[in-house]
Chains A and B, each alone.
Chain A
Amino acid sequence: MYREPRLLIAGDRAVVIEFGNAVSPEINERVRKLLLRIEKFPIRGVEEAVPTYRSLLIHYNPMLVPLEALRDAVETAVRESMEMPLPKARRVILPTKYGGDRGPDLEYVARYNKLAIEDVIRIHSGTDYLVYMIGFTPGFPYLGELPRSIACPRLSTPRVKVPAGSVGIAGTLTGVYSVDSPGGWRLIGQTPLKLFDEKLDPPSLLRSGDYARFVPTSEEDFKRVESEVRAGKYELEISYLD
């Protein structure tokens, strides 16, 4: 973490407030605190803000706020956000069918790490993962930190189409493909939940600062949940962490 966050110019309508140069929950927390502060005490001219691992991208309208005024307001917000308590984090359960057609790389991940398939499932589903940020495609959560014992490099050639809901591993990250898209992460399973639905507001199931927990399910349960989701009858399992 930097002693003082850096303000970087990202064109004539955005600035980056960068808190550090590492993937860490502490740095990410500072990003989320600043976002929360800006939401609670809006800064004139700020249109929207995008939290990522270690920085907040602030989009502003220079017709409404000159850079100097924005810089002052952001500096104040950064300072005061340090003391801001974050609300209790949501912990969202993602029922997941591991292996088979739904997780074609599960065997490879086990072999790569010299583990049994059951061990990979046990380890992957044995941790709460922090949602660092949403990006890549609408609703795609970047989750960490993946236990090193099941880490695995990306595919050298990405797949042309990865089905929505696929759970993947890339290095020490794990994530869930939110929409059908090309992708190079190792696929170990699939959740029947919709990570992105443009008919909802917010459209993303997960948000920066949530935790996600994968829970292994049978193929039968996968199908049941899938049809409940489709019918709009599925009730998310959410708890709140201190």
Chain B
Amino acid sequence: MTTIQDLGRFGYRRYGVPVCGGMDSFALRIANALADNSEESACLEMTLHGPTLRALGPCYVALTGADMQPVLNDQRIEMWSAYPMKNGDVLSLQDARRGCRSYMAVSGGFNVPRVLGSRSTYIRGNFGGYEGRVLRRGDILRGEQMSVRSKVRYLGREDIPDYLESPKVKVLIGPQDDFFTEKGIETLLSSEYEVTPESDRMGYRLKGPPIEHSGEPEIISDGVAVGAIQVPGSGMPIVAMRDAQTTGGYPKIANITYVDLEKMAQLRPGDKVKFEQVELEEAHLLLHQYMQQLENLRKKIKERDVAPEFPDEETLLRLQGAIT
């Protein structure tokens, strides 16, 4: 499944409009940095399996996120890098080897109309992105003020995130922790949960030891932040993702931190996750570090803009620091 996403649609949650946007905003931001775009440019978000794309003119594309084993014409190329394409070039992506989502940026950004301030696709609402829907064979995407660079750009190997199949994810307890027994909270923090196939951009439904409520598993509906872990009567947690509804009536035992929600976004059905509690001060500190790291990477990418034209795979791997 491939959709157009940017950083998200803000300011309309009070009208019931979900925030949408790239599930892994780190990968999306780095894709834009590699393509020399502003960070809010629209990218392709490709889930589990990537498309085959043909360039209808010269362009410059960046690939990040899960490794979809990209091939440009006949040459295997690397993720977390950006390449020039000329008219007729074919870029094909396969199954994600690890992780769940990949991003493709094109220099200048994809030119689809902004709806309520954003280019993100809201699939269930049928608006935003490309005609409000998932991309299909034969669709033609246009770039906005496309610029073509001749150099290959890349992110250093040491800066590429590892997509673990059973990560630890940090959570902040609340806002409705008083709807759970102590044992229930302990269950959340000490158990392993599996991502079920009923997981998508709206929510990740998890399976594992049931979480015990202290009373009714229902609250008077209130606002749901992205990353909220809701627990319905079944005791099985549901994590609100980017397309989640803005309000809900299940008690929320915890929220995943902004930074760690991206780990969650790279999980696929069958992967496992463990939750560990952090306090707010620490979460904010980690968020500051994350933003700082992004800033540093953007700089590094620019400084590294010296690669020879179209290196072969070995040269690129050497540049990335994978081999010496």
Instruction: Give the B-binding residues of A (Cβ under 8 A).
Output: 8-14, 16, 18, 21-23, 35, 47-57, 59, 62-63, 66-67, 133-140, 142, 178-179, 181, 196, 198-199, 201-204, 207-208
Given contacts A9-B174, A11-B257, A23-B220, contact A135 B16 (CB under 8 A): yes
Q: Contact check, B175 vs A8: say whether CB atoms are below 8 A apart.
A: yes
Q: Complex formed: what's the CA distance from A66 to B13 in Å?
A: 23
Closest 9 CB pairs of A and B: A57-B223, A135-B247, A11-B255, A8-B175, A204-B15, A12-B283, A50-B223, A14-B225, A52-B222
B221 A133 Cβ-Cβ under 8 A: yes
The distance in angstroms between the C-alpha atoms of A67 and B284, with both chains bound, is 9
Q: Indicate if B17 sits at the interface (CB-CB under 8 A).
A: yes
Decide yes or no: A62 and B287 within 8 Å by CB, A136-B247, A198-B127 being known contacts: yes
Most buried by A among B172, B220, B223: B223
- Is the CB–CB distance between A133 and B247 below 8 Å? yes
Tell me how many residue pairs across A and B have CB atoms closer than 8 Å: 139
Residues 111-161 (chain B) with a chain A CB within 8 angstroms: 115-116, 124-125, 127-128
Beta-carbon contact of A50 and B174 below 8 Å: no
A138 & B16 in contact (Cβ 8 Å cutoff):
yes
Most buried by B among A57, A181, A196: A57
* Sampled A-B contacts (28; CB under 8 Å): A8-B176, A9-B174, A9-B280, A10-B223, A11-B257, A12-B257, A12-B258, A12-B280, A12-B287, A16-B175, A55-B222, A55-B223, A57-B222, A57-B223, A63-B288, A67-B284, A135-B16, A135-B247, A136-B16, A138-B15, A138-B16, A138-B17, A138-B125, A198-B125, A198-B128, A199-B115, A203-B12, A207-B15
Write the chain A residue with the least CB distance to B279: A9
B227 located at the interface, meaning its Cβ lies under 8 Å from any Cβ of chain A in the complex: yes
Instruction: Verify A198–B116 contact, CB threshold 8 A.
Output: yes
Minimum CB–CB distance from B293 to chain A (whole Å) comes to 13
* Bound-state Cα–Cα, A138 to B227, Å: 19
Partner of A135, one of B10, B12, B246, B283: B246
Contacting residues of chain B (202-242) with chain A, CB-CB under 8 angstroms: 220-225, 227-228
Q: Give Cα A55 to B176, complex, Å.
A: 13
The complex places the Cα of A142 from the Cα of B245 at a distance, in Å, of: 14
Contact A50/B14 with A63-B288, A179-B125 known, Cβ cut-off 8 Å: yes
**Which residue on A lies nearest to B174, using beta carbons?**
A9
